[in-house]
């Protein structure tokens, strides 16, 4: 994934009997047999490039996704892993019910405490 990608192409993933297939689609939403799957494009922002002093490179003119794009490109994995995890986590949590998420985290903490006390680790 590169910052320079300007197309609205998403990956369509469908699951059938335990196998996943992928193809490009222009829509941000696709259906799987048991679920509606929605894709959200996440990208490295110019502010993050500056803030984390990420290395840039010229955009490849041969890349069909670069049509109409001006500027440099940067690889998403140039971001520190902790920052990338935060960006992805925030995007996922943005689709969750905040009360349900808080309840789940509370239950997980309680279960962790019980398991910790059972094995005697403090």
State the DSSP string of 51-67: HTT---EEPPTT-GGGT
Six-digit token pair at 26?
A: 């222009």
| 73 and 93 part of one domain | no
Mean pLDDT by 10 residues, the chain (122 residues): 37 40 50 71 88 91 79 89 93 92 96 92 64
**Residue range(s) defining the domain that contains residue 100:** 80-122
How far apart are alpha carbons 96 and 35 in whole angstroms? 15
| 20 and 49 part of one domain | yes
| 48 and 5 part of one domain | yes
Check: CB of residue 11 under 8 Å from CB of residue 65.
no
pTM of the predicted structure, to 2 decimals = 0.57
Domain boundary residue, one of 77, 93, 110: 77
| 8 and 63 part of one domain | yes
Report the number of distinct structural domains present in the chain.
Answer: 2
| 21 and 59 part of one domain | yes
pLDDT for position 42? 83
Q: Is residue 54 packed enough to be buried (19+ CB in 10 Å), middle (13-18) or exposed (0-12)?
A: middle
| 64 and 102 part of one domain | no
DSSP state at residue 71: S
| 50 and 89 part of one domain | no
Domain boundary residue, one of 60, 77, 94: 77
pLDDT for position 70? 77
């Amino acid at each position: 994934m590169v910052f320079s990608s300007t197309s609205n192409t998403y990956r369509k993933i469908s699951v059938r009997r335990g196998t996943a297939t992928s193809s490009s689609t222009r829509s941000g939403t696709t259906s799987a047999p048991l679920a509606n799957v929605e894709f959200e494009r996440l990208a490295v922002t110019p502010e993050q490039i500056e803030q984390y002093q990420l290395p840039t490179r010229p955009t490849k003119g041969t890349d069909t996704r670069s049509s109409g794009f001006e500027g440099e490109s940067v690889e998403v994995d140039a971001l520190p892993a902790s920052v990338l995890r935060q960006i992805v986590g925030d995007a996922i949590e943005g689709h969750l019910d905040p009360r349900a998420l808080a309840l789940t985290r509370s239950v997980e903490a309680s279960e962790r405490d019980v398991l910790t006390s059972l094995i005697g680790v403090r």
